[in-house]
Structure 1
Amino acid sequence: MPILSHNPEGLFPPYRNYSHATEIRGDARLLIISGLNGYLADGRTMPDSFEEQGEIIWQHIGTILRAAGMDYSDLVSLRTYLADPSYDEANVRLRIKYLGDHRPSSTVVCCRLLDPKWKLEVEAMAAK
């Protein structure tokens, strides 16, 4: 199943590890991952730092992908909610760490999150 990135001329160049659009061709399984936060497996404990919460979230994404027979390279779309714009650089570093050269479609939104302890929340879609 081909997954194609679309970054056509005439649009500004994509920056910071994403593509403007991602196309999935042929028969595919689509995995939609709900927004994840930085809770540990007990569902109550969460570290205070953005980086630690982000690491936990990306590890949760990896666990879900593996459960579906997929990996990070199967991600086609990410939506990240940041509690503060100052977290953007650390967020980009996490995306690069877990995605390498893979560039899914991506949106980052800065907003107040449901719980003031949360520094970020990430939802994702993967296809295979």
Structure 2
Amino acid sequence: MAIIQHNPSELFPPYRGYVHATEIIGGARLLFISGLNGFERDGVTMPETFEAQAELIWKHIRTILASANMTIENLVSLRTYLADPKFDEPNARMRAAQLGGHRVSSTVVCCQLLEPNWKLEIEAVAAG
């Protein structure tokens, strides 16, 4: 499987560590990860802060990836929903810390989330 990143020079430069598009060539497994929130394993408890919720969501993502014999390096796309624009910078820092040098297609949307305690929700696509 080949993964090709597309950042045409006719577009603005990608910022905050993402790529404009990701192409997957060849016979690949695709893993679509539903939007994850910051619930603890009990499905009731949730950290109060943005940072704690984000760290827990990234832990959930890594757990799901591992269940499919994948890692962060298999991620090709992220969609993040923020409950408030003030979480944009902390989200960008968290994503950079979690991805390291790995780059993915990414979209961030600010909207009202289903539950008032949710600070963010992240869905992802991985290929392997």
Mark yes or no: TM-score above 0.5. yes
Task: Point out where structure 1 has 5 or more consecutive residues left out of the alignment.
Answer: none
Q: Give the TM-score taking structure 1 as reference length.
A: 0.99
Q: Which amino acid aligns with 1:107?
A: T
Distance 1:45 1:17 in 2: 31
Give the match's secondary structure for 2:91.
Answer: helix
Question: How many residues align structurally?
Answer: 128
Partner in structure 1 of residue 6 of structure 2: 6
Give the match's secondary structure for 1:73.
Answer: helix
Q: Which amino acid aligns with 2:126?
A: A
Structure 1 position 92, deviation (Å): 0.7
**Paired-residue identity, %:** 66
Distance 1:63 1:73 in 2: 14
Give the match's secondary structure for 1:97.
Answer: helix
Give the match's secondary structure for 1:22.
Answer: strand
RMSD of aligned C-alpha atoms? Answer: 0.4
Partner in structure 2 of residue 79 of structure 1: 79
Task: Point out where structure 2 has 5 or more consecutive residues left out of the alignment.
Answer: none
Q: Which amino acid aligns with 1:81?
A: Y
The 5 A counterparts of 1:50-89 are: 50-89=50-89
Q: Which amino acid aligns with 1:69?
A: N
Q: Post-superposition, which runs of at least 4 consecutive aligned residues in structure 1 deviate over 4 A?
A: none
Q: Which amino acid aligns with 1:14?
A: P
